[in-house]
Structure 1
């Protein structure tokens, strides 16, 4: 069974309560509730308006530092809510954040039909995010790089024919994506981990917010555009793509489909103990295969 990465440090409600009491005594009376336990971070709701995010494994420490460094600038440009980290100190062995609680239902917990109203808002968010990165912003070596850099890991995953009975068709999709023209523009600001678990919807299905910026960095914006296959069915995906107009060319959409394959297989191959992420990966594979000979904008 392929499982999520194990935690280096298990964080309980009691640990979070002690950290908050010691470092933010003004918030000590706020109720605490665990709301998410992802691959990299654990998230606890703190009262009605705040949340606490803590790394659950050592590899995630640089990610939360990046989030703390770059999110304030992203938040100033974003048309929707994103969490803006604080910088409380603590005796917790790693950096952690108290952030603003962004209300909304995770798109991963909403059916595809209920996500459709978020297409335009998500496109607008990405248009605001994808600006040339300032000098010094690092490239994430696993996201936003040329697709060929990820060839080895994808080929290895697709050898699992029991998990991927459509491996031949998926290899053909991958070959098409890798044949697309590489990104030739400036390195752009990226979310880096944009999938339905990190997208929040309002009661009417519109976009309420985007969370989990641990993979923020610079590179090819196609990695974020892959959300079109992870989030939407074919009809809504076309509306999502059209919302970008001439800002995104056909080669970038082809690379985005390749990134959707990378991200979907990452979830399917490593989430046997996380049904929510497994379902996101399964949906992504179905959308990728269902495209057929799609004409990209």
Structure 2
């Protein structure tokens, strides 16, 4: 998926576990089929999973990221009534793999890519309850870090310009440029950040019987624009349940539009970037854009 990708094999994982965590060396190791774009995931026995960063980076920098993600994941797991992975250990480079890696608890369930809950009002209510619980958490004086989504929409202009250029021939770029020209000007409803998951896409939520059964990829938990987690309204929900989410959270028009703008920014990036290497993600981006554009027809 990436030019600088580092591939990991089951044998490499087995060797790393034997050398660094011999207490788990007798457990079966299985590569987890995933649409994830940041880590390769391996299941260790029935209760653990190991995440290996895919993109080559300096080992010290990668360790700092994994440590930060572990703290964030542990904090979110304590706040959420829905299960979330908890950090267990950090591994070191070895066996030909050049970066540190992370071990966390394994959660049972089916990702929303494989069991689409988009038509379920009950799922929308669950998602709203999850978002509300994070919003109520103490920021402890923390503010948006400036990295990724969740700050000022217009700060993404350069990235969006690249997305429009790369999407020529894939999407109606002229129309999408007009949409962004409106979205980028949307002001914040207030200055205060709230705690947010930051990436509520189908691959990061688990479903059981059309209900939310767990939340994955929680390492990005942190302070951000209150509208950021509303991306899930368009990545995950059809119109009826989307309105259930909005009504349950009590979103005003401006906050709702900013949530739509963040979903638009994310979707524009995944359509072209993963069109050949991760078709599931690319299709998700197209579906999200269709959902955003449909009321504008």
**TM-score, length basis structure 1:** 0.87
Residue in structure 2 matched with residue 44 of structure 1 by the alignment: 42
Q: For residues 41 and 291 of structure 2, what CA distance do their matches in structure 1 show?
A: 30
Q: For residues 160 and 72 of structure 2, what CA distance do their matches in structure 1 show?
A: 30
State the Cα distance separating 1:8 from its structure 2 match. Answer: 4.0
State the Cα distance separating 1:7 from its structure 2 match. Answer: 4.5
Contact 2:73 2:85 in 1 (8 A): yes
Deviates more, 1:135-144 or 1:188-197: 135-144
Structure 1, unaligned runs of 5 or more: none
Give 1:142's match in structure 2, choosing from 148, 169, 177. 148
State the Cα distance separating 1:170 from its structure 2 match. Answer: 2.5
Deviates more, 1:8-17 or 1:170-179: 170-179
Give 2:132's match in structure 1, choosing from 127, 146, 149. 127
Residue in structure 2 matched with residue 194 of structure 1 by the alignment: 200
State the Cα distance separating 1:161 from its structure 2 match. Answer: 3.1
State the Cα distance separating 1:107 from its structure 2 match. Answer: 0.5
Q: For residues 50 and 174 of structure 1, what CA distance do their matches in structure 2 show?
A: 41
Tell me the number of residue pairs that the alignment of Structure 1 and Structure 2 aligns: 286
What is the CA deviation profile of residues 229-263 of structure 1, one whole-angstrom value per residue up to 9, with x for unaligned ones?
11111111111111102xx3321111111111111
Structure 2, unaligned runs of 5 or more: none
Contact 1:169 1:289 in 2 (8 A): no
- Change in Cα spacing, 1:258 to 1:136, as seen in structure 2 (3 Å) is closer
Q: For residues 42 and 267 of structure 1, what CA distance do their matches in structure 2 show?
A: 18
Q: Does 1:84 align with 2:90?
A: no
Q: Does 1:263 align with 2:269?
A: no
Residue in structure 1 matched with residue 190 of structure 2 by the alignment: 184
Q: CA RMSD in A?
A: 2.2
- Change in Cα spacing, 1:206 to 1:7, as seen in structure 2 (3 Å) is farther
Q: Which runs of 4+ in 1 moved over 4 A?
A: 112-116
Q: For residues 37 and 64 of structure 1, what CA distance do their matches in structure 2 show?
A: 20
Contact 2:82 2:130 in 1 (8 A): yes
State the Cα distance separating 1:58 from its structure 2 match. Answer: 3.5
State the Cα distance separating 1:14 from its structure 2 match. Answer: 0.9
Q: Aligned ranges for residues 241-256 of structure 1 at < 5 Å?
A: 241-245=246-250, 248-256=251-259
Deviates more, 1:59-68 or 1:269-278: 59-68
- Change in Cα spacing, 1:128 to 1:210, as seen in structure 2 (3 Å) is same
- Change in Cα spacing, 1:115 to 1:263, as seen in structure 2 (3 Å) is farther
State the Cα distance separating 1:137 from its structure 2 match. Answer: 6.2
Contact 1:261 1:288 in 2 (8 A): yes
